[in-house]
A = this chain, B = another copy of it.
Amino acid sequence: MTRSASPLLPIAYSDEVTAAKARGAPLVALESTIITHGMPYPGNLEMARSVERIIREEGAVPATIAVIDGVLHIGLDDAELEALAQTEGAMKVSRADLAFAIAERRTGATTVAATMIGAALAGIRVFATGGIGGVHRKAEETFDISADLEELARTAVIVVCAGAKAILDIPKTLEVLETRGVPVVTYDSPNFPAFWSRDSGLPSPLMLNSPAAIANFQAVRERLGIDGGMLVANPVPAENEIPRREMEIYIERALDNAERDEITGKEVTPYLLNTIFRLTDGRSLATNIALVENNARLAAEIAVAMAV
């Protein structure tokens, strides 16, 4: 269902993306880590299909990005999506190792950073995700900061998210984005959201109230020759949110448990998310799905506005 564009760089566009590019239709990139590492089968497949459907309903074309057996896919057909949703042991690839997965003929799910690189390579300027990585709590001691922030400083893609995952240090994440010159625009709200919650308690650096305004802002950036990406923070709908006061209790408890159980390094984030899932009786996952769908809708609207 896909074609390889080059014998040297194994890249495959789905038929739908190929057709969209040919007619200049608006495209929205999607990451694959949420599919392979974010939720279990078959919920992950349902979420992935629902997000793609929303993007099509809004008049844009979805392009889920992943490395499958060493081929960089820009857009997956339904059989590929289903297979990826059942894959075990996929790498989680970022800027440092996207090319590694290709070179070593591995299967790799793309993080925000690697999806941005794939999107930019394919000429896709808008990307919908759940939450970006950021500055980890205690990063003042560990220096643990996601490569997503570096990528936002470098690569000209609009990333639509519900903020940074609230288990991170959000004030420090906003500071690093400011230092690196990344615009942070909250959609239709003066406050920066906190993933599961509509409000992090922190004012948003910038606010815009329409997809057209966001598209225009990005167009001016490009004409000025300002490179790097833009973060659009889209608060989860009120009916789906878990308010901040409530979430903070769960997050604190999850952090305490992680310390008690001596969880460190790469194990911390999945441990925290699982603990929060348990503490909220699964509401955190329902909110996660709702916010990804909400972001897909806004990303499609922005892509449509940019194509005008």
Which residues of A pack against B, CB within 8 Å? Answer: 6, 8-9, 72, 94-100, 102-104, 113, 117, 121, 135, 139-147, 149-151, 153, 171-172, 175-185, 205-206, 208, 213, 216-217, 219-221, 223-226
Which one of B72, B140, B147 contacts A179 once the chains associate, using CB atoms below 8 Å?
B147
Q: A94–B141 Cα gap in the complex (Å)?
A: 27
Copies in the complex: 3
Assess the A149–B220 pair: CB atoms within 8 A.
no
Residues of B within 8 A of A146 (CB): 179
Residues of B within 8 A of A216 (CB): 103
Residues of B within 8 A of A143 (CB): 135, 139-140, 171-172, 175-176, 179
Which one of B181, B208, B220 contacts A113 once the chains associate, using CB atoms below 8 Å?
B181
Which one of B95, B176, B223 contacts A9 once the chains associate, using CB atoms below 8 Å?
B223
Assess the B117–A226 pair: CB atoms within 8 A.
yes
- Report the nearest B residue to A224, measured CB to CB: B99
Determine how close the nearest CB of chain B comes to the CB of A206; give it in whole angstroms: 6
| 8 A-B residue pairings within 8 Å (CB atoms) | A96-B177, A96-B205, A97-B205, A97-B206, A99-B221, A100-B183, A100-B220, A117-B224
Residues of B within 8 A of A104 (CB): 208, 213, 217
Determine how close the nearest CB of chain B comes to the CB of A185; give it in whole angstroms: 8
Residues of B within 8 A of A139 (CB): 143
- Report the nearest B residue to A154, measured CB to CB: B181
Determine how close the nearest CB of chain B comes to the CB of A176; give it in whole angstroms: 6
Q: A130–B162 Cα gap in the complex (Å)?
A: 39
Assess the A95–B8 pair: CB atoms within 8 A.
no
- Report the nearest B residue to A6, measured CB to CB: B223
Assess the A95–B181 pair: CB atoms within 8 A.
yes
Assess the A9–B220 pair: CB atoms within 8 A.
yes
Known A-B contacts: A9-B223, A96-B178. Give 5 more (CB < 8 A): A95-B181, A102-B224, A103-B217, A104-B208, A117-B224
Determine how close the nearest CB of chain B comes to the CB of A303; give it in whole angstroms: 18
